[in-house]
Amino acid sequence: MAMKTRIKKAIFPAAGLGTRFLPATKASPKEMLPIVDKPMIQYAIEEATACGIEEFIIITGKYKRAIEDHFDSAYELEESLKRSGKKRLLEEINRLNRINFAYIRQRAALGLGHAILCARPFVKDEPFAVLLSDDIIDPEDTLFKDMINLYKELDCPILALQQVQKEEIHRYGVIDGLKEGDGVYKINNLVEKPRVEDAPSDMAIIGRYILMPDIFEILEGLGPGRGGEIQLTDALQRLLKKRSIYGYLFTGRRYDAGNKVGYLKATIDLALKNPQVSEPVKEYIIEVASRLKKGIRR
């Protein structure tokens, strides 16, 4: 029997064009947009660190250099913080210092499937995780940890799922599955961005995946799918013919911070959880709510 390999590597695709955030993303990466005081991608990196990931592979592209700089040391800044005795800030910026990052350029934004394929030479023949940083998971939640535990039990690819509203279903990959346990679904089929009447369920695939290296072979042979992109969902659909794939239903809070409203909601909720700003933010929200109630717009 093949021995189960621990998940040590994670891929963070960050080479998308971020068109929904234009003009902010014209020359700077969407993944660097801050939520309260941390760039989006740092939330995903910290989530992975907490679950024992040791190797971090970031897929980047044009105008994405700020990501590399962010996770690099910043000599002048560190010296200046040291001189002015700002120990807490110094610790904060050095917190991720021990992490090793690998950066791979995706030459053109040919789709999420293609972005993952770019990491093949680094992942080689191990199972690995994929985390999309514009899906922000409540940092107190254990989704990714639960997925790793499920993988250990089943030794199969695991996709994170969440129930989404009818109006939103066309934006996701959607599964048809058979419930096998608490939140655990054996996947029968998956469809990328279906029309609501064609959706096999209301369970959408969200941005956390545990995959095995056999997906690379399939991605390699895949042509462009919907929107001319190499779609991960198409590759998973083909993989289904060869092996079992499971879904894990997430019932906690997730923010689709790749769109403006989701991003603003994440900002509000995470500000309310941040002890440095929660009180004044709460007061302000109450003030805004009362203004809105009275019908005052400004």
Nearer to ligand UTP, 247 or 258 (CB): 258
Rounded least distance, CB 106 to ligand UTP, Å: 5
Nearer to ligand UTP, 114 or 208 (CB): 114
Residue 258 interacts with ligand UTP (CB under 6 A): yes or no: yes
Residue 44 interacts with ligand UTP (CB under 6 A): yes or no: no
Select from 4, 19, 260, 288 the one that contacts ligand UTP (CB under 6 A).
19
Nearer to ligand UTP, 160 or 281 (CB): 160
CA neighbours closer than 13 Å in the CB half-sphere of residue 217: 7
Nearer to ligand UTP, 154 or 210 (CB): 210
Select from 109, 249, 272, 277 the one that contacts ligand UTP (CB under 6 A).
109
Positions 134 through 173 that interact with ligand UTP (CB under 6 A): 134
Per-residue mark of binding to ligand UTP, 22-41 (x: CB under 6 A): --------x-----------
- Quick one: which segment of 66-74, 102-110, 186-194, 219-227 binds ligand UTP (CB under 6 A)? 102-110
- Quick one: which segment of 103-111, 147-155, 264-272, 280-288 binds ligand UTP (CB under 6 A)? 103-111
In angstroms, how far is the first alpha carbon of the chain from the final one?
A: 66
Give the burial string for 126-165 (b: 16+ CB within 10 Å, else e): ebbbbbbbbbbbbeeebbbebbbebbeebbbbbbbbbebe
Select from 114, 193, 208, 254 the one that contacts ligand UTP (CB under 6 A).
114
Residue with the shortest CB distance to ligand UTP: 16
Which of 159, 118, 124 shows the shortest CA–CA distance to 244?
Answer: 159
Residue 18 interacts with ligand UTP (CB under 6 A): yes or no: yes
Interatomic CA distance for residues 117 and 87, integer angstroms: 41
Query: At residue 173, what are phi and psi to the nearest 5 degrees?
Result: -80, 135
**Structure tokens of 274?**
């941040």
**Structure tokens of 176?**
């048809």
Select from 6, 8, 20, 186 the one that contacts ligand UTP (CB under 6 A).
20
Positions 68 through 97 that interact with ligand UTP (CB under 6 A): none
Provide the binding-site residues for ligand UTP, judged by CB under 6 A. 13-20, 30, 59, 106, 109-112, 114-115, 132-134, 258
